[in-house]
């Protein structure tokens, strides 16, 4: 029982770190685009690539049903879904050259890394 | 004078040709997840490579045989079947990953999906292989590859503390994710000590007609070129550690890796990263395809050589063409090049002992290296590498599953 819990904790921690990384990536790309350092072409494809990685990670998270039964897993799944939606909106914002839209959506990114 | 020019060109091309998909992936991941802590692994792998490259050059310079040719002659075809098949499989997969890496570099610049670039890139690689001699391939690509020095410039500009860097050259235990740490340490070794490099280097030594008197050129090129090349790999790790690490960005795609250049190069960051990645991968893809032709021709006793007219070495030309086609077919299926790279570096570690062990015998056989046999230090190194390689081969697959 204890081993199963530990394994579950480790798995959740791994997913959490992956989503944190993808959230941080989204924020860094958006900031780069807002500062003018990153082109629209790169920003667009990098957001699309990040969205794909979020979806892959969500699939991996939901592959083990017991992970979703855990409240932490369920929260993570919801946050990941929100991150996916935000990425889709950010892609639209960049295509429309809507800087305020990008700022608004970046501020809504639900998964921030723990200050280690 | 000619030897000096060869030496300078050799060192410069070693720097330019050092960084490719494997070293960028593993160093970027190591830096983003463990800071400078795995710098020792890059340094150690570089030292291993330098020693192996020097030996393969010495073997070829004295015996006028490439590594694959010498192994075939000394141990027979039956001994070589399994290591040869394993090396070819790894070469094909790595070639697919390198072609994918070069295609992703173009995608970073154009925004057009990477699979669309695989076939055009394949055509360019084949034209280079078909039309260029060894010198042009080696030196041309190596000189273009000097763009990868941008990783060193980036690391320098980011201003890491030299005391921290120096401390990281001594192995330490990780504070978190021990399995991942071990996996990355082994992967860095696999990415750096690629088997293809050894046969490619020895074949090149035969093509360039290095004489026994010029063995010092081989020694200096191997150690100095690899040392500078290792510094470029360290530049990737340090840039990633300073820029991506504090933001908690783990490198799962080249799009993320490109961000390491933004603080230093600003609006040129992505273009510079893409060109560095693209040229590094393109050069490695050409070398891998050429080496596959070398290995097959040398083992089966066909005429070979990039300096020969291709029509006088038809089986050699057919061999690199077929290998290139298989690799392109794999790449075009759309496997994630970064994941494929990580699998390849793991497989490289698995086959390493089978490739190093015959080396130990050859480097002590006066029929091949005359009076230039290995001393106790180099023999000890090869023996140690065989043992450590065997241990790494045992653990790399579990590590890849648990920590990869």
Q: What are the pLDDT digits (tens) for B121-133?
A: 999 999 999 999 9
Q: Residue B391: what pLDDT?
A: 85
CB < 8 Å to A91, chain B: none
Residue B209 contacts residue B307 (beta carbons within 8 Å): no
Residue A22 contacts residue A113 (beta carbons within 8 Å): no
* Mean pLDDT value across residues A33-58: 96
CB < 8 Å to B111, chain A: 41-42, 44-45
B108 touches chain A (CB under 8 A): yes
Q: How far apart (Å, rounded) are the C-alpha atoms in residues B183 and B336?
A: 19
Kindly indicate the confidence band of residue B402, based on its pLDDT and cuts at 50, 70 and 90.
confident
Domain positions in chain B are 2-77+133-266+333-403
CB pair distance less than 8 Å for A25 and B259: yes
Q: DSSP assignment, residue A81?
A: H
When comparing pLDDT for B19 and B184, which is higher? B184
* Mean pLDDT value across residues B65-81: 89
Chain B nearest CA to A105, separation (Å): 19
Q: Residue B267: what pLDDT?
A: 94
Q: Which of B195, B202, B203, B196 is nearest to B316 (CA)?
A: B203
Kindly indicate the confidence band of residue A116, based on its pLDDT and cuts at 50, 70 and 90.
very low
Residue B13 contacts residue B143 (beta carbons within 8 Å): yes
Chain A nearest CA to B267, separation (Å): 4
pLDDT in tens, B322-331: 999 999 999 9
Q: Which of B288, B334, B357 is nearest to B90 (CA)?
A: B288
Calculate the alpha carbon distances from B71 to B60, B190, B192, B359 in Å.
12, 21, 22, 8
Q: Name which of B110, B249, B256 is nearest A41 (Cβ-Cβ).
A: B110
Q: Which of B281, B334, B285 is nearest to B115 (CA)?
A: B334
> Which of A 85-104 lie inside 8 A of B, CB atoms?
none
* Mean pLDDT value across residues B253-271: 96
What is the chain B residue with the closest CA to A32?
Answer: B262
Q: Residue B210: what pLDDT?
A: 87
Can you say whether the dihedral through the CA atoms of B77, B80, B81, B85 is positive or negative? negative
* Res. B343: pLDDT tops 60: yes
* Mean pLDDT value across residues A63-84: 90
Q: Name which of A21, A28, A46 is nearest B250 (Cβ-Cβ).
A: A21
What is the chain A residue with the closest CA to B262?
Answer: A37
Q: How far apart (Å, rounded) are the C-alpha atoms in residues B323 and B345?
A: 19
The complex's ipTM? 0.92
Q: Residue B181: what pLDDT?
A: 94
Q: Residue B404: what pLDDT?
A: 59
Q: Name which of B255, B266, B267 is nearest A46 (Cβ-Cβ).
A: B255
Q: Name which of A28, A39, A50 is nearest B247 (Cβ-Cβ).
A: A28
* Res. B277: pLDDT tops 80: yes
A74 touches chain B (CB under 8 A): no
State what percent of residues in chain A have pLDDT above 90.
Answer: 74
Calculate the alpha carbon distances from B366 to B61, B74, B175, B302, B384 in Å.
13, 12, 48, 25, 22
3-state SS class at B84: helix
CB < 8 Å to B269, chain A: 37-38
Q: How far apart (Å, rounded) are the C-alpha atoms in residues B169 and B42?
A: 9
Q: Residue A3: what pLDDT?
A: 60
Q: Residue A4: what pLDDT?
A: 59
Q: Which of B103, B106, B115, B249 to mutate to test the interface with A (most CBs of A within 10 A)?
A: B249
From the number of C-beta atoms within 10 Å of its C-beta (0-12, 13-18, 19+), residue B180 rates as buried
Q: How far apart (Å, rounded) are the C-alpha atoms in residues A89 and A108?
A: 11
B248 touches chain A (CB under 8 A): yes
Residue B355 contacts residue B190 (beta carbons within 8 Å): no
Range scoring the smallest mean pLDDT among A43-47, A62-66, A93-97, B93-97: A62-66
Residue B142 contacts residue B16 (beta carbons within 8 Å): yes
Residue B191: CB partners within 8 Å, gap ≥ 6? B22, B23, B25, B26, B45, B341, B345, B348
pLDDT in tens, B142-166: 889 899 999 999 999 999 999 999 9
B269 touches chain A (CB under 8 A): yes
Q: Residue A2: what pLDDT?
A: 53
* Mean pLDDT value across residues A61-73: 87
Q: How far apart (Å, rounded) are the C-alpha atoms in residues B321 and B333?
A: 19
* Mean pLDDT value across residues B273-299: 94
Mean pLDDT over each residue of chain B, to the nearest integer: 90
* Mean pLDDT value across residues B295-311: 90
* Res. B396: pLDDT tops 80: no
Q: Which of B245, B262, B275, B403 to mutate to test the interface with A (most CBs of A within 10 A)?
A: B262
């Amino acid at each position: 029982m204890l081993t199963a819990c530990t394994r579950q904790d480790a798995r959740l921690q791994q997913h959490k770190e992956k989503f944190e990384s993808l959230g941080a990536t989204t924020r860094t790309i958006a900031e780069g685009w807002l500062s003018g350092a990153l082109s629209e072409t790169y920003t667009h494809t990098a957001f699309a690539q990040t969205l794909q990685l979020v979806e892959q990670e969500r699939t991996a998270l939901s592959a083990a049903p017991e992970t979703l039964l855990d409240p932490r897993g369920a929260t993570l799944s919801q946050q990941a879904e929100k991150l996916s939606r935000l990425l889709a909106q950010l892609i639209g914002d960049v295509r429309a050259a809507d800087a305020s839209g990008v700022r608004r959506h970046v501020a809504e990114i639900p998964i921030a890394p723990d200050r280690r | 004078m000619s030897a000096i020019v060869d030496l300078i060109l050799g060192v410069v091309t070693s720097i330019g040709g050092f960084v490719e998909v494997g070293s960028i992936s593993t160093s970027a991941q190591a830096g983003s997840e463990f800071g400078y802590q795995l710098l020792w692994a890059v340094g150690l792998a570089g030292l291993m490579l330098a020693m192996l490259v020097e030996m393969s050059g010495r073997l070829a310079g004295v015996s006028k045989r490439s590594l694959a040719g010498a192994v075939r002659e000394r141990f027979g075809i039956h001994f070589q079947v399994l290591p040869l098949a394993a090396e070819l499989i790894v070469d094909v997969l790595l070639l697919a990953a390198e072609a994918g890496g070069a295609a992703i570099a173009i995608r970073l610049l154009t925004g057009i999906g990477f699979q669309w670039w695989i076939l055009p890139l394949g055509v360019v690689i084949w034209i280079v292989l078909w039309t260029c001699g060894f010198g042009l391939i080696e030196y041309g690509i190596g000189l273009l590859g000097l763009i990868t020095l941008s990783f060193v410039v980036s690391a320098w500009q980011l201003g890491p503390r030299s005391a921290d860097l120096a401390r990281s050259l001594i192995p330490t235990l990780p504070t978190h994710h021990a399995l991942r740490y071990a996996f990355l340490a082994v992967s860095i070794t696999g990415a750096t000590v690629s088997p293809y490099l050894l046969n490619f280097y020895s074949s090149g030594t035969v093509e360039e007609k290095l004489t026994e008197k010029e063995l010092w050129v081989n020694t200096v090129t191997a150690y100095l070129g690899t040392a500078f090349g290792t510094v470029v790999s360290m530049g990737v790790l340090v840039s990633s550690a300073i820029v991506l690490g504090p933001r908690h960005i783990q490198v799962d795609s080249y799009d993320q890796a490109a961000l390491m250049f933004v603080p230093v190069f600003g609006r040129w960051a992505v273009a510079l990263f893409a060109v560095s990645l693209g040229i590094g991968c393109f050069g490695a893809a050409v070398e891998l395809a050429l080496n596959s032709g070398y290995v097959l021709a040398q083992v089966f006793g066909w005429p070979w050589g990039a300096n020969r007219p291709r029509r006088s070495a038809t089986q050699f030309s057919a061999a690199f063409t077929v290998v290139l086609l298989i690799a392109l077919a794999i790449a075009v299926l759309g496997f994630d090049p970064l994941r494929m790279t990580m699998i390849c570096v793991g497989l490289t570690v698995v086959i390493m002992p089978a490739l190093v062990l015959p080396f130990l015998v050859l480097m002590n056989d006066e029929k091949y290296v005359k009076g230039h046999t290995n001393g106790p230090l180099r023999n000890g190194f090869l023996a140690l590498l065989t043992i450590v390689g065997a241990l790494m081969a045992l653990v790399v697959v579990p590590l890849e599953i648990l920590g990869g």
